[in-house]
């Protein structure tokens, strides 16, 4: 029986943090044998907000390298850079014509980002049509591979719903062609900010709040040391969010024996937070070391990395060209 296809994409934002890794990318690596996986670095999506061209190009290459360093294997999975597969944008136009304006205006992420831009720069700030239509590009990213599943978090559900609507409308209008992509839910850890453990770890909160996946060991140890642990609760009582976050990081690193031992100490009131932090830092350093080494190796030969990026994207181009030919034929274009 052929494997079901899973598609997931990441924007080239510059630096992955441990939240992205434990909460998404590591799962991508883990499911490579079980599913027929397609992963993408979606640089076109990064153009919807104000950006710097040189940085976008560098971030895209770096994200490709980072995914390889994390364990995405182009021999097992398709790994494309979106702008190297122009079939996505061509399908976006075709899909724009089966998407309603009203549907797009109801997207909460558009509303959120628009108000963020307005708050930053007042009404004068530029809001691109790309920001408005990017859920259509996202639908094209998913459907052009005829993906069965998309791993999603709660905030992405609305976009997947949109892709399903587009698939259904296309199929009704032109004939059954696209499978309706379903969400793939997996229980994954949510990593909280170190400086404010009531909030999700995110780069936008600032340096103190996150740990970059490839940060130096020194820096990891320093950040863990200064992590907020307690907000006045008693050892043995309810776990404070900061302490729970460190426990969850130890678990995510697979250091289960230490986790159990420390948890016993917590329950009988003998846990020392300095010890908890030492174990957290050691677990992270040991888990991330091989990834950092692999990344350094890949970064030392950018010509090779560039070649790998083009070769991997060519696989996606071959597949999507065939799909686009079918679609063009169905919608009445010369193919």
Single out the residue of 190, 208, 272, 289 in contact with ligand ADP (rule: CB under 6 A): 190
- Given the residues 200, 277, 294, 328, select the one marked as catalytic: 200
Encoded tokens for 142: 């998913």
Does position 20 bind ligand ADP by CB under 6 A?
yes
* Annotated catalytic residue 203: yes
Question: For residue 79, what are the CA distances in angstroms to 38, 213, 223, 258?
Answer: 6, 20, 32, 36
Phi-psi domain of 71 (left: phi exceeds 0; alpha: psi -120 through 50; beta: other): left
Side-chain half-sphere CA neighbours of 95 within 13 A: 29
Binding part of the chain for ligand ADP, among 90-98, 178-186, 194-202, 297-305 by CB under 6 A, reads: 194-202
Single out the residue of 13, 96, 114, 299 in contact with ligand ADP (rule: CB under 6 A): 13
Encoded tokens for 268: 């009988």
Does position 49 bind ligand ADP by CB under 6 A?
no
Single out the residue of 79, 117, 140, 201 in contact with ligand ADP (rule: CB under 6 A): 201
Closer of 191 and 228 to ligand ADP (Cβ): 191
Going by C-alpha positions, the residue among 249, 263, 275, 276 that lies closest to residue 192 is 249
Q: At its nearest, how many Å lie between ligand ADP and the CB of residue 208?
A: 14
Instruction: Name the burial class of residue 32, with classes exposed (0-12), middle (13-18) and buried (19+) by CB atoms within 10 angstroms of its CB.
Output: middle
Going by C-alpha positions, the residue among 267, 98, 284, 91 that lies closest to residue 189 is 284
Single out the residue of 200, 277, 292, 328 in contact with ligand ADP (rule: CB under 6 A): 200
Closer of 84 and 191 to ligand ADP (Cβ): 191
Does position 243 bind ligand ADP by CB under 6 A?
no
Does position 248 bind ligand ADP by CB under 6 A?
no
Cα dihedral 324, 61, 34, 323, rounded to 10, equals 0
Binding part of the chain for ligand ADP, among 13-21, 61-69, 93-101, 289-297 by CB under 6 A, reads: 13-21
* Annotated catalytic residue 200: yes
* Annotated catalytic residue 277: no
User: Tokens 């080239």 label which residue?
Assistant: 12
Binding part of the chain for ligand ADP, among 11-19, 137-145, 179-187, 322-330 by CB under 6 A, reads: 11-19
Binding part of the chain for ligand ADP, among 15-23, 29-37, 142-150, 158-166 by CB under 6 A, reads: 15-23
Contact 48, 11 (CB under 8 A): no
Buried b (16+ CB within 10 A) or exposed e, 148-158: bbbbbeeeeee
Residues in 137-176 that interact with ligand ADP by CB under 6 A: 153
Closer of 130 and 153 to ligand ADP (Cβ): 153
Give the C-alpha separation, 70 to 52, whole Å: 26
- Given the residues 113, 146, 277, 294, select the one marked as catalytic: 113
Contact 83, 44 (CB under 8 A): yes
Name the site residues for ligand ADP (rule: CB under 6 A). Answer: 10-11, 13, 19-20, 23-24, 153, 190-191, 200-202
Active site residues: 113, 200, 203
């Amino acid at each position: 029986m052929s494997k079901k296809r899973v598609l997931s994409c990441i924007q080239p934002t510059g630096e992955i943090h441990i939240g992205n890794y434990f909460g998404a990318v590591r799962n991508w690596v883990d499911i490579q044998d079980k599913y027929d996986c397609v992963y993408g670095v979606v640089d076109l999506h990064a153009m919807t907000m104000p950006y710097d061209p040189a940085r976008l190009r560098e971030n895209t290459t770096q994200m490709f390298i980072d995914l390889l360093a994390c364990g995405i294997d182009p021999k097992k999975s398709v790994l494309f850079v979106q702008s190297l597969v122009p079939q996505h944008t061509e399908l976006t136009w075709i899909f724009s014509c089966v998407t309603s304006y009203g549907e797009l205006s109801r997207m909460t992420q558009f509303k959120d980002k628009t108000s963020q831009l307005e708050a930053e720069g007042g009404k004068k700030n530029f809001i691109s049509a790309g920001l408005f239509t990017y859920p259509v590009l996202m639908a094209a990213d998913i459907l052009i591979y005829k993906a069965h599943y998309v791993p999603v978090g709660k905030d992405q559900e609305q976009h997947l719903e949109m892709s399903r609507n587009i698939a259904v409308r296309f199929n009704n209008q032109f004939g059954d062609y696209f499978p309706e992509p379903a969400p793939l839910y997996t229980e994954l850890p949510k990593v909280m900010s170190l400086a404010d453990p009531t909030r999700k770890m995110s780069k936008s909160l600032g340096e103190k709040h996150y740990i970059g996946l490839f940060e130096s060991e020194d820096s990891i140890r320093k950040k863990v040391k200064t992590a907020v642990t307690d907000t006045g609760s008693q050892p043995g009582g309810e776990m404070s969010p900061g302490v729970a976050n460190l426990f969850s990081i130890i678990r995510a690193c697979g250091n289960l024996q230490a986790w159990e031992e420390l948890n016993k100490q917590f329950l009988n009131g003998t846990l020392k937070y300095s010890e908890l932090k030492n174990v957290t830092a050691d677990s992270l350093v040991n888990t991330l070391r091989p990834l950092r080494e692999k990344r350094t190796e890949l970064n030392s030969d950018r010509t090779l990395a560039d070649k790998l990026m083009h070769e991997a994207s060519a696989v996606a181009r071959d597949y999507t060209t065939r799909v686009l030919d079918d679609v063009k034929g169905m919608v009445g274009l010369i193919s």
